[in-house]
Structure formats: structure tokens, C-alpha cells
Structure 1
Amino acid sequence: MKTLETIYAFGRQELRAAKIEEADLDAWYLLEHVTGVTRASYYVNPGRELTEDEVQNYQAGIQKRAARIPLQHIIGKTEFMGLDFFVNENVLVPRQDTEVLVEHVMSRADGKDILDLCTGSGCIIISLAKLCHIKSATAVDISEKALEVAKRNVANQEVNVTLIQSDLFEKVEGKFDVIVSNPPYIPTKDIEELMPEVKDHEPMLALDGMEDGLYFYRKIVDQAEQYLKPCGEIFMEIGYDQGEDLIQLLEQKKFTNVKVFKDLAGLDRVVYGKLQA
């Protein structure tokens, strides 16, 4: 009979052999997910015997992770801004870097009408709706399957968010105080260099920023003025080397006070602009 200790050792060994970067940690998270064990209960009783279902489910999870399927897809959730979000292969796994985007919007969010473009799992707009006193929340995505994930997360977090299937602004009506977006921004030529977990298991629709990675930024900036109220603001996540290009794009339109904010690693991560009155 397998015990917590022996099956955890098996998991670590398998993931190390597969050269998974955080093998021991991922093996633990899968054990926690399958058995409900906590660190404390594990150390008190590492010899606890597992049921046959637990053994099979753990081995299947380890096999998937060794095949580079993201851990978050296997366990079906991830944490973002202190909240749990359901995720699957139809959306990007929310990144810690994107929390920087949300934190900057939070300082401007109270009492505002906010539009989230390329919402994916909905993690950005749902976090704002949950953690701030915003007036209204609208989120769009071109992917019907992504919106199904967002809808589930809206229900799980018990927030009021209007979800629209739309190619950026195509089906959006009205004007907003704030537009926020984390659009696809990886140049097509760079996608092959991404980790297998990303390039093979996350939606290409959410990754590919076309030839130079700026395609969707150009489309958003070109139309943003029509959907922003006077003195409206825009916040967008950007790649580490795209700051100067985005500053130029925004300043060519009617945006002032354009600036770039850095993430915890000191890399450019968020661009901001305010529409001229």
C-alpha cells in the first residue's frame, strides 16, 4: 500500500527526471490537491495510507506534469491577487507580473466604469470588482471558450461583471473612465522560444502579438479615444522591451502623462496614459 511519504517521493523523482523546474514543489501541490493533506498533517503522519483512487489520481497528475502540462491546468485553479481562479487550456494562467497592472488600476478604480479588453480568465476585472468599489465592470474577449472560464470565475467570486464576446471594441457600447488590457504581446518569432508549458498548452490566441508584438496595442490605442470619457485613463501590460514603443504610440494619439511602471524584477511591465480633456 502506498503512503503519503512513498507517493510523494515517487512524485519528486518523476518530475526531477522530467527536468521540471520546481519538481519538489509541484509534486507537493499535486499531493495536496489529490489527498487534501496539509504540511502539518503530512509531518504528523507521513505513513498515512492512500486509497487506490488517490494513488491513481496522483500518478495521473504527475504524468501530466512530467509532460509539461501546467500545474494550474491539472489542479484547475490558481491564485491571483489573493483570490482563487479557475483556469484551463482555454486561457492564459494568470501571472504574478499582471498583479502589478491590477495594483496600479486599483488606485484609480473606485467609482469608475471600467472596461477590460482581452479578459481571458477574467482575473483582472474580477479582482478590481472584488477588491475595489467600482461603478461598473465590463470585460470582452474574442474567445467564446475563454468567456466560459471568465463566467465561471465571475460566479465563483460573486461579482457583477458584464461579459461580451467581441474582437476588442467591435461590440462594445458606451464610454468608460478606465480601459485596462493585457493583450497578446509576444512577437510571433519569439513564441517558439517559450517554455513548453506556455507554447504547447496555453492558447496561441492569447500569446501571439503578431510580427513585432505590437499589433493589438496599435488597434487598442487607435480606437481607445472613442470609448474613453474626457480625461479617461488607459493601463496595459507590456513586454519588458516594449515600453518606449508604447510611450510613442500613446503620445501620437491624444494621451498625456504617459509613463511606464516596472514590475518587482525591475522590468517595464505597465504603460499608462491619460486622455486629454
Structure 2
Amino acid sequence: MERRTYGGLLKEAETYLFGHHVEEWRLDAWYLFSSCFSMDRAKYYIKRDCTAEEEEVDAVAQFRAMVERRGARIPLQHIIGEQEFMGLSFRVNEHVLIPRQDTETLVELVLEDVKRTRARNERLRVLDLCTGSGCIGISLAYYLRMYPELQVTLSDISADALRVARDNVCRLGCGDCCRVLQSDLFGAFKGNPGERFQIIVSNPPYIPSGDIEGLEPEVREHEPLLALDGEKDGLAFYRRIASEAAGYLAPRGEIYLEIGWDQGADVETVLMKAGFCGIEIIKDLTGKDRVVKAAARRLD
């Protein structure tokens, strides 16, 4: 096999990804390179004109194979096997949505509200519906560990997704305050009418069925349809959640839902019709509607 410099290998990858219409071709090439050769930028700049070591022949072959997979529009995160979210590293695969920075808006809002309004000795039960990789619920568990009465329930209908969530619970050391439960929304709780949560969070499927074909191939072909498809108008899961959530919220309980950028008013209406109050629409860092927050009980 022809031996190349590290700089030559990276350039080769950039050219290949650019030619295959990968939008972030330069950045993705770097992430794959860094993953295979365990180099940060500083080490790379020192060694970029050096020829790859003979004992790295397997790493070179792996790097080229990974670049080809990315050129086939397999998501970078599926190739590397992880994605950073809220400063934590989550395992991901084809069975879960890839955590996105937009969703950090929801997590940061919950963290801020909890620390501002709830005492440390207060019972704190959190339910993360449609948990997928567990990134929302586990991040909350990780950053709220100072609450001794904390329990976070991660639920999803997909057994494959829950295997990923369990892996991430163990990986991030949150097994003492997280439980993982297979459930179709609130289905698993119907046999326990006393189950109540102070906080319910969810990033449910919200893409209208007719819009899925127009998504990028990385999303359309490689992320789970079960976690994307919000049925005809994208609001089906919001209606289901809104119709049942009040029965599982404790007094002073609140619900936080991630939404599509153009769904704020519609989800607000869904929640109002279901009897929720104190409804707020929160924007993300780009100024787009991203989270709807509501309380289940009327405000005095």
C-alpha cells in the first residue's frame, strides 16, 4: 500500500468528501482523521509532513474506509459511534436520533428552572418520553445529581433505542438515579395511577410525513423513521402527550416539549385545548421557536 503523509491523507479525504457533496466536507474529514489517528490539531501541525508509520497501516485502511462510508452519506456520528451533547459524549447508532445542539435549549431551560424554583431536598421525578439515546434525560440526571431525591425515567417504544440509552446511562455514571423503561408514551404507567412526575420532557417525532422525503440523505436514510415521523401534520405526538400528561404531573409539575421551528403556535393551541396553562414558547440560539413549556394546573 502506498504510504502517504498525514497531511496527504487528510487532503485526500477532503477532496473525496467534497466530490461526494458532503456539506461539511473539511470538518468531517478532520473528525474522521482525528478519530483514526488520535491526533489533536497541535499534534497534526507538527506531524502533517511526516509519513504515516508502518504500524499504522491498519489505521490508514480504516480511515479510508470511514471516508468512503461518509461519502455514501452515512452520518459522521454513526461512523464514529458517538456525539457530544451538553458537554457529554453519547453513544449513537442507527436506532436513535443523533443528538443535536438545538435540543440543548430544552435541557438548559429545565436545568435553569429546577435550580431556580426547587429546593435541594425536594422530591424530583423526571420523565423523558421518546428518550432515544437518552441524551435529554441523562444530561438532566448528570447535572442535577446534587438533588438526593432525583429519579429520571427514560422511556421509549423502541427496544433497540433503549439498549443505546442503557449503554449511555452506564457510560456516564448515572445508573443510581436513572431507570430505563419500554413504553408507548404513558402506556407503561397506566397500571400505576399513583405515578407522578414533577417534570415531563420530550423530543417527540414532529416532522410531517410528507416532508420526510425532502430531508438530507443522512437523516432520511439512516436515522430511525419511528423517531422522525409526526404523521400528517407533525402534531400527532403532541396531541397524544397533551391528552394524557396532566394525569401524570405532580402539583407544580411542568412539561417541556421540543418543537419544529414553525410549530410553536400549533403546539400552544394543542396544550391549551388539553387544559394546560402558563404556556411559554422559548427560542433557540438562532432565534427560532424550539421549546414549549407549560403547567398542568391553572394559575391563580
**2:223 counterpart residue number:** 202
**1:10 counterpart residue number:** 12
Tell me the TM-score normalised to structure 1 length.
0.98
* 1:49 pairs with one of 48, 52, 55: 52
**1:154 counterpart residue number:** 169
Map 1:16-165; keep pairs closer than 5 Å.
16-46=18-48, 47-50=50-53, 51-109=56-114, 111=122, 112-132=124-144, 133-134=146-147, 135-159=150-174, 160-165=177-182
What is the DSSP-based 3-state SS (H/G/I as helix, E as strand, rest coil) of the residue aligned with 1:91? Answer: coil
- AA partner of residue 85 (structure 1): F
Deviations 1:64-117 (A, max 9, x none): 000000000000001000000000010000000000010111123354210000
Map 1:176-187; keep pairs closer than 5 Å.
176-187=197-208
- AA partner of residue 140 (structure 1): S
Distance 2:230 2:96 in 1: 15
What is the DSSP-based 3-state SS (H/G/I as helix, E as strand, rest coil) of the residue aligned with 1:209? Answer: coil
Structure 1 runs (4+) deviating above 4 angstroms are none
**1:170 counterpart residue number:** 187
Alpha carbons 1:119, 1:139 under 8 Å: kept:
yes
What is the DSSP-based 3-state SS (H/G/I as helix, E as strand, rest coil) of the residue aligned with 1:240? Answer: coil
Distance 1:22 1:29 in 2: 11
Shift of 1:139: 1.1
- AA partner of residue 245 (structure 1): D
Task: State the superposition RMSD in angstroms.
Answer: 1.1
What is the DSSP-based 3-state SS (H/G/I as helix, E as strand, rest coil) of the residue aligned with 1:26? Answer: helix
- AA partner of residue 137 (structure 1): V
**1:232 counterpart residue number:** 253
Tell me the TM-score normalised to structure 2 length.
0.90
Distance 1:240 1:42 in 2: 39
* 1:216 pairs with one of 219, 230, 237: 237
Deviations 1:26-61 (A, max 9, x none): 001000000101111111111141421011100110
Unaligned 5+ segments in structure 2 are 116-121
Distance 1:271 1:239 in 2: 10
Deviations 1:187-222 (A, max 9, x none): 000001111100000000000000000001100000
Shift of 1:3: 2.2
Deviations 1:147-198 (A, max 9, x none): 0000000000000311001100000241000100000000000001111100
Alpha carbons 1:109, 1:128 under 8 Å: kept:
no
Distance 1:109 1:187 in 2: 32
Unaligned 5+ segments in structure 1 are none
Distance 1:267 1:39 in 2: 33
Shift of 1:254: 2.4
- AA partner of residue 161 (structure 1): C
Distance 2:47 2:127 in 1: 49
Distance 1:11 1:206 in 2: 31
**2:118 counterpart residue number:** none
Deviations 1:111-165 (A, max 9, x none): 4210000000000000000011451110100000000000000000000311001
Alpha carbons 1:2, 1:55 under 8 Å: kept:
no
Deviations 1:226-248 (A, max 9, x none): 11012210000001111111111
**2:290 counterpart residue number:** 269
Identity of aligned pairs, percent? 48
- AA partner of residue 97 (structure 1): D
What is the DSSP-based 3-state SS (H/G/I as helix, E as strand, rest coil) of the residue aligned with 1:171? Answer: helix
